[in-house]
Amino acid sequence: MTLTCGVDEAGRGPLAGPVYAAAVILDPARPVAGLADSKTLTPRQREALAREIHSRAIAWAVASASVEEIDTLNILQASLLAMRRAVERLAVTPRQVLVDGLHRPRLAVPVRAIVRGDATVAAIAAASILAKVARDKAMLALHQRHPQYGFDRHKGYPTSAHLAALRRHGVSIAHRRSFAPVRVLLGAQGGPRP
């Protein structure tokens, strides 16, 4: 059996919170039915599939890159860093890694990037689900600390409600200062708020 690991990230586009990545080695003898790109699933479906992945996969791991790392490195490099961390946290070393998209993290094993891999490769779909579930949980925790921004609803994406909250309440420490809407507000309003 070739140990193939699927990797994907969640949270490249939002204006706030860390970017998450997951790495999953599925067990061919214990398939998980219903795997799909996390964006096509409801939160309830993602939660149920995440439980299945946790119990049936040979190995899985989730990692993140912080807002500070995103602002220092840029979002692409921070995403690749989170991916590398996820693969390195696996309890089993894969023989090859398949990553969703165009870019590959630097790893000690062969890596192949697959455009739309989250829709075509089961292990990548599984990783997309775990990354999305982990990031959504982190954003709900962030909502507890900063309820005025509505992170429980938009998960940090630049919705009109989020942009209005940013204008009303200013930039929090959870926001990515390198992202244009936040950077513009910082310039207009001064430093971040706690």
Phi, psi values for residue 185, rounded to 5°: -65, -40
Same structural domain, 42 and 123: yes
Same structural domain, 98 and 151: no
> At which residue do the structure tokens 């309820």 appear?
147
Give the pLDDT confidence score for residue 187 in this predicted structure.
82
pLDDT of residue 78 exceeding 70, the answer is yes
pLDDT tens-digit profile of 21-52?
A: 999 999 999 999 999 999 999 999 999 999 99
Stated pTM of the model? 0.94
Q: Is 123 left (phi over 0), alpha (psi -120 to 50) or beta?
A: alpha
* pLDDT confidence tier of residue 190, bands split at 50, 70 and 90: low
Q: Which of 56, 34, 57, 55 is nearest to 46 (CA)?
A: 34
pLDDT of residue 70 exceeding 90, the answer is yes
Give the pLDDT confidence score for residue 186 in this predicted structure.
86
Same structural domain, 137 and 153: no
Secondary-structure breakdown of the chain: helix, strand, coil percentages, each rounded to the nearest 5: 50, 20, 35
Same structural domain, 38 and 98: yes
Mean pLDDT of the chain: 95
Give the pLDDT confidence score for residue 146 in this predicted structure.
96
- Say how far apart CA 111 and CA 80 lie, in whole Å: 12
- Say how far apart CA 51 and CA 119 lie, in whole Å: 20
Q: CA 155 → CA 53, 124, 134, 138, 187, distances in Å?
A: 23, 22, 12, 9, 24
Q: Which residue range is the domain that position 154 belongs to?
A: 146-187
Give the pLDDT confidence score for residue 189 in this predicted structure.
59
pLDDT tens-digit profile of 133-163?
A: 999 999 999 999 999 999 999 999 999 999 9
Judge whether 192 lies within some domain: no
